[in-house]
A = this chain, B = another copy of it.
Amino acid sequence: MTMVISNCFAKRGASHLWQCSRAPHRRIPAILPAHRTYVTVFGYTQAKALVYSAYGQPKDVLSLHRYSVSPAYGRTLNVKLLASPINPADINQIEGVYPSKPPFTQLLGTSTPSAVAGNEGLCEVISVGQEVLNFKPGDRAIFLAPGFGTWRTHAVVLDEQSLRGVPSDIPILSAATVSVNPCTGYRLLTDFWGEGGLQQAAINGEWVIQNGANSGVGRAVIQMAKIWNLKTINVVRGNRSPTELSNLRNDLRDLGANEVITDEELSSEEIKGKIAYLTGGRGVGLGLNCVGGRATTDMARTLRHSGTMVTYGAMARQPITIPASLFIFKNLSLRGFWISKWAGEKVEERGKMLDEIFEWIRKGWLKDAPMEEVKWTEESKEEELVEAVSKAGQGTGAKKIFVFQEN
């Protein structure tokens, strides 16, 4: 019996914990903490993934599947996950209400065809095939390919084009959550100004209004707007205790928010005067909507002539209702944005954007949204992991993120 050890471990001369669910195995106690993993006597890495074979509520359809990953060869790379967030879109995808639907396959050896849940995450390369050019073991990377399935301990990546390297000085949680929220915020503030673009908007000191301002995208928008000399009016839900609301206001102001108002304030009679006062009579140039319903109609009314409102989410699960007069006489434009679609089309632009965002993270200009870590170890039970998914979005409002650890 020949033991094939994947590149990364062979190079570093580490000894490992060998384990195989089917073949006899023996434990080797000495462990290199950063690279400890489970590898069979055949060199297979023992991996686990949260998979689903039918659409439904996460607690009903998600299961933890164990499988083994063969060593990297040719153009493939083997990676282990470091962290992977639970985004609202991931839940929608499991529910089957998201337009991007990964195909159900039997690649992982599930009894019925399945897909791995999760779409965003940071990984570390653990072994590469001989035809891989730009990655070596130990490199960190995020997933560029949409619908890759990131809620798993290890993965085989078929093509290095699916990965984007991340500098080693970017904190794990920041890097693992960079590709959805900060990238969405960046595009929302960049792509919708029309002639003259963001540059002219920055020169004019344009105002932006956004609802769901304390979301991950909302916090990115606040910080990027400040970097680019735009000013923000930030709408948050008012159904909080006075202390919570006060804390949230301070929290967002600390990030650079110019104004924080509640949805009730946005609906009030006085808002017209307030917006005029805040913007020095200029009005708001851009509205960013992730809510829908009444809050969105109210926001549209605050926009100046020829202003634009971009919808990128639908937290209230209500449609967007706009009086015809706002289109005809105020020449309002309503647009939409979906980062997955954009990212698939603008590969080069995406690379430049990520470089810029990493630089901001390094400088401390772009701070993470609050996150609640969910540890995923070899000992983690299916119930714990599925429960974390089911309860994502509940409680503190902090984004839940899987953080993968050996034990």
Residues of chain A touching chain B, judged by Cβ–Cβ distance below 8 Å, are: 99, 289, 292, 297, 310-314, 319-338, 341
Kindly provide the distance from the CB of A329 to the nearest chain B CB, expressed in whole angstroms: 5
Nearest neighbor of A305 in chain B, beta-carbon distance: B341
If over half of A's interface residues share one DSSP class (helix, strand or loop), that class is named, otherwise mixed; here it is mixed
Given contacts A327-B336, A329-B99, A338-B331, contact A319 B319 (CB under 8 A): no
Given contacts A320-B322, A322-B319, A328-B314, contact A335 B336 (CB under 8 A): no
Contact across chains for A314 and B325 when beta carbons are under 8 A apart: yes
- Pick from B289, B324, B333, B341: contact of A292, CB under 8 Å: B324
With a cutoff of 8 Å between Cβ atoms, the chain B residues found around residue A337 in the complex are: 327-328, 331
Contact across chains for B324 and A320 when beta carbons are under 8 A apart: yes
Nearest neighbor of A327 in chain B, beta-carbon distance: B336
With a cutoff of 8 Å between Cβ atoms, the chain B residues found around residue A329 in the complex are: 99, 336, 338, 341
With a cutoff of 8 Å between Cβ atoms, the chain B residues found around residue A325 in the complex are: 99, 314
Given the complex of chains A and B, what is the CA–CA distance between A101 and B320 in angstroms?
30
Kindly provide the distance from the CB of A184 to the nearest chain B CB, expressed in whole angstroms: 11
Contact across chains for A331 and B322 when beta carbons are under 8 A apart: no
- Pick from B311, B327, B330, B331: contact of A327, CB under 8 Å: B311
With a cutoff of 8 Å between Cβ atoms, the chain B residues found around residue A328 in the complex are: 311-314, 336-338
Given the complex of chains A and B, what is the CA–CA distance between A333 and B333 in angstroms?
7
Contact across chains for B341 and A336 when beta carbons are under 8 A apart: no
Given the complex of chains A and B, what is the CA–CA distance between A313 and B332 in angstroms?
14
Return the 7 tightest CB-CB contacts between A and B, nearest first. A327-B336, A314-B324, A334-B334, A311-B327, A321-B321, A99-B329, A328-B336
Given the complex of chains A and B, what is the CA–CA distance between A321 and B321 in angstroms?
4
- Pick from B314, B321, B331: contact of A319, CB under 8 Å: B321
A-B contact pairs, 11 of them (CB 8 A): A99-B325, A297-B319, A314-B325, A319-B324, A320-B327, A326-B336, A329-B336, A329-B341, A331-B336, A333-B333, A333-B334
Contact across chains for B341 and A324 when beta carbons are under 8 A apart: no
Nearest neighbor of A320 in chain B, beta-carbon distance: B322
With a cutoff of 8 Å between Cβ atoms, the chain B residues found around residue A322 in the complex are: 319-322, 334
Instruction: Given contact pairs A313-B324, A319-B322, A328-B337, enumerate 17 new A-B contacts (beta carbons under 8 Å).
Output: A99-B329, A292-B324, A314-B323, A314-B328, A320-B321, A320-B322, A320-B324, A322-B322, A322-B334, A327-B334, A329-B336, A329-B341, A330-B336, A331-B341, A332-B336, A333-B333, A333-B336
